[in-house]
Amino acid sequence: MIRVTIAIIGLLIMTQEIVKADNPIITQRFCADPNAMVHEGRVYVYCSSDEDNVDSYDGLLNYTLISSDDMVNWTDHGIVFRVKEDSKWADNAYAPSVVFRNDKFYLYYPNAGNSIGVAVSDKPEGPFVDPLGKPLVDKTMPNCDVSWLFDPCAYIDDDGQAYLYFGGGRNKTSPHGKNFRVIKLNEDMISVDGTAITIDSPHSFEGPFVHKKDSKYYLSYPGLPGQHIYYIIADNPLFTNSELQGVVLPSPSLDGENINLRNNSHESIILFNDQWYMFYHDRRISNKAYKRNVCVDLLEYNEDGTMKKVVVTRESVPQIKSLNPFEKVESETMDHQNGIEVTPCSEGGCMVTEISDGDWTQLSGVDFGSGAKKIQIRVAAEGKGGAIEIRLGSETGKLIGTCKVKGTGSWDKWKTIRCSVSEIYGVNDLYLVYRGADEPFRLNWFQFTAR
């Protein structure tokens, strides 16, 4: 369990002050290799899962999904793919890539550095099913004998043609600059068309990611020297006649200190709500190689189409919309937390668990409008229960209500409790502070009632 208390954003009440999250954007679990995509007004970020008890990349077996529609409060969907259970042939699950097409989500996953498979789902959070039962791309295929056959990036161009980019390595068979490949995907997204093509990508090491702005194609990637994020630009998705532009994200540092241990990085770039963002991982929480965390910062362009260097921040990015507390809010949606974990819920989705006395979860920029009078919370308590304090501004801030939680008889027996709240108006940072010993209860969701 990660137990982190993060610096708190000031209280907002009926002001126009810009709310920002803190980096990293998820602190209740370690994760890395963020692959971000936009779907129906929401950002979904698929991540490698750095498990608490693993100190090796060989322990990468699962993918975690988080999502947000405001870029500050993130919903933790938990583990959405387990390679040992959801694949019949793969042993590891290195950096993923997901795209939406044909009313389905296609997850491309590498088996360590040996091959790439595909799994399909009707929903972004899965379940994902492998339709092939074998690799989609492996080293026996023409021009695919790259040193590290991993780090897939699926990209669908404006004309509907889909591509899969992959590769990495640093030896004679895959020297820097010649270790990336691209191959066309058929419309079914589970078969390939033709032969893989080598991309000339100076300094390339691993982690290719492709995006398009206007008529230009951008291929970004972690490279050497420096473990910086380099990029090239071309006028075509095969990146023939491309040009190296330099570094878009230097190896993450704060106050002159490298917070990535000068180790590997991984990035993805999206356009959301008319703003460009770069997602990346570093090691600012753990200061350990195999315990990474996901961050996001703003990405901007120069007039000539080149990208400005991304500034690594503690504050992350601005909130783009307020959160509505009068709609059901999943308990696993949060900006900050202290001490909790998120696991699957018997009622579906996920829940907040592993609660100890004094733990809390927090939401930023919650708009209570002209006021709220009650809150209802979905809870389960195997023991005697405890209490939930509703506070504003901080975990010790203004107390506007306390909900008593009585035992429900088992962890699978859920009950909706209700209690009154007072003096809450406008936009606030909302804290749920948990009281009670020995995991007093678990939470599924909550919802306020307007005055």
The mean predicted confidence, pLDDT, of the chain is: 94
- What whole-number distance in Å separates Cα of residue 115 and Cα of residue 138? 4
pLDDT score at 53: 80
Pair 445, 380: CB distance under 8 Å:
no
- Tell me: pLDDT of 353 over 80: yes
pLDDT score at 232: 98
Angle at 87 between CA 127 and CA 264, to 5 degrees: 95
Indicate if 145 belongs to the active site: no
pLDDT score at 378: 98
- What whole-number distance in Å separates Cα of residue 314 and Cα of residue 58? 30
**176-216, pLDDT tens digit by residue?**
789 999 999 999 999 999 999 999 999 999 999 999 999 99
Per-residue pLDDT, averaged over 144-173, amounts to 94
- What whole-number distance in Å separates Cα of residue 46 and Cα of residue 65? 5
**304-329, pLDDT tens digit by residue?**
999 999 999 999 999 999 999 999 99
User: What is the CB-side half-sphere exposure of residue 367 using CA atoms within 13 A?
Assistant: 14
- Tell me: pLDDT of 17 over 80: no
pLDDT score at 171: 75
| Catalytic choice (70, 76, 125, 206) | 206
Indicate if 214 belongs to the active site: no
Instruction: Report the relative pairing of strands 253-254 and 257-258 from DSSP bridges.
Output: antiparallel
Per-residue pLDDT, averaged over 235-249, amounts to 97
- Tell me: pLDDT of 379 over 80: yes
- What whole-number distance in Å separates Cα of residue 2 and Cα of residue 341? 8
Reported as a pLDDT band with limits 50, 70 and 90, residue 52 is confident
pLDDT score at 176: 79
- What whole-number distance in Å separates Cα of residue 160 and Cα of residue 285? 40
pLDDT score at 18: 66
| Two tokens, residue 167 | 């590769």
pLDDT score at 1: 52
Pair 266, 184: CB distance under 8 Å:
no
Q: Where are the beta strands (DSSP E) in 57-161?
A: 62-68, 74-82, 97-101, 104-111, 115-121, 137-138, 153-156
Question: Exposed e or buried b for every residue in 304-335, given b needs 16+ CB within 10 A?
Answer: eeebeebebbeebbebbebbebeeebbbbbbb
Which amino acid appears at position 70 of this protein? D
Per-residue pLDDT, averaged over 269-296, amounts to 97
- What whole-number distance in Å separates Cα of residue 355 and Cα of residue 344? 15
pTM: 0.95
Q: Find how far residue 61's CA is from the centre of its chain.
A: 16
- Tell me: pLDDT of 15 over 60: no
- Tell me: pLDDT of 16 over 70: no
Which domains are assigned to the chain?
31-299 (2.115.10.20), 329-450 (2.60.120.260)
| Catalytic choice (22, 33, 267, 395) | 33
- Tell me: pLDDT of 7 over 80: no
